[in-house]
């Protein structure tokens, strides 16, 4: 469908350029992943123990980066008016925006996460699971983040408000992912945490577009 592909292409190119795009997100991720171990002591054994968790938490923080502009720009410059008069319902528009955000920042970060974890001393065997968690969890971060971004539309200091709305909602995926990772490194069964993470992401992808569209309509009127 022509309108759908036009929208997706545009959103992807906007997400790629938004807030510095993937490069800035990666730089921020590297900075956080470096700072956290500095604060927790430099013994290799201790670092190795927390490495997957650090790589995972830094991911959640990096996901916050460009959320403020996800809907705010379109709201301010009138593009949201245009988007709500298109052939595709606003729910799908919101989902496409989040999907593009995930492809432009979440996916590059998912590639960086295992590298950071191994650099901090995590066993290389944890890398595939960390990559999978980052990819699937990143989807949840993008959609839940989009929910926060749409709720903060039109408010001053929206960026802070988004973080306050979104960070508590990031808690479950952070816990599930970290649980799976620490189970794996401890040699315990890890599928439980991983499946819960998948379930959370599915719910976020399925439900948040409706809330985002409602929040956008509310902000427009």
Least distance (Å) from another protein to the CB of residue 1? Answer: 10
Please tell me whether residue 220 binds another protein under the rule CB under 8 A.
yes
Q: Does 20 bind another protein (CB under 8 A)?
A: no
Helix axes 21-39, 2-17, angle to 10 degrees: 50
Shortest reach from residue 6's CB to another protein, in Å: 4
The answer to the question of residue 155 lying near another protein (CB under 8 A) is no
Least separation in angstroms between residue 70's CB and another protein is: 14
Alpha helix stretches (DSSP H) within the chain: 2-17, 21-39, 44-62, 68-77, 79-84, 90-101, 107-119, 127-151, 158-185, 191-220
Q: Which residues of 93-117 are buried (b: 16+ CB within 10 A; e: fewer)?
A: bbbbbbbbbbbbbbebbbebbbebb
Q: How far is CA 210 from the centre of its chain?
A: 18
**Footprint of another protein on residues 51-110 (CB under 8 A)?**
73-74, 76-87
In the bound complex, what is the minimum distance in angstroms from residue 219's beta carbon to another protein? 10
Which residues would be at the binding site for another protein (CB under 8 A)? 2-3, 6-7, 9-10, 13-14, 17, 73-74, 76-87, 220-221
């Amino acid at each position: 469908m022509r309108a759908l592909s036009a929208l997706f292409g545009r959103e992807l190119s906007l997400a790629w350029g938004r807030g510095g795009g993937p490069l800035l997100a990666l730089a921020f991720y590297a900075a956080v992943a470096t700072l956290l171990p500095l604060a927790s002591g430099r013994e290799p054994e201790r670092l190795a123990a927390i490495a997957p968790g650090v790589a995972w938490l830094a991911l959640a923080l990096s996901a916050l980066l460009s959320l403020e502009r996800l809907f705010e720009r379109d709201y301010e410059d009138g593009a949201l008016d245009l988007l709500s008069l298109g052939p595709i319902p606003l729910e799908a528009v919101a989902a496409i925006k989040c999907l593009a955000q995930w492809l432009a920042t979440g996916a590059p970060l998912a590639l960086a996460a295992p590298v950071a974890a191994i650099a901090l001393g995590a066993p290389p065997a944890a890398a595939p699971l960390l990559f999978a968690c980052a990819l699937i969890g990143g989807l949840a971060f993008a959609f839940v983040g989009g929910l926060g971004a749409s709720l903060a539309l039109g408010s001053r200091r929206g960026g802070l408000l988004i973080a306050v709305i979104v960070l508590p909602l990031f808690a479950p995926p952070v816990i599930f992912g970290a649980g799976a990772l620490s189970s794996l490194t401890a040699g315990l069964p890890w599928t439980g945490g991983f499946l819960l993470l998948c379930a959370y992401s599915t719910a976020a992808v399925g439900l948040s577009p409706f809330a985002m569209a409602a929040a956008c309509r509310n902000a427009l009127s």
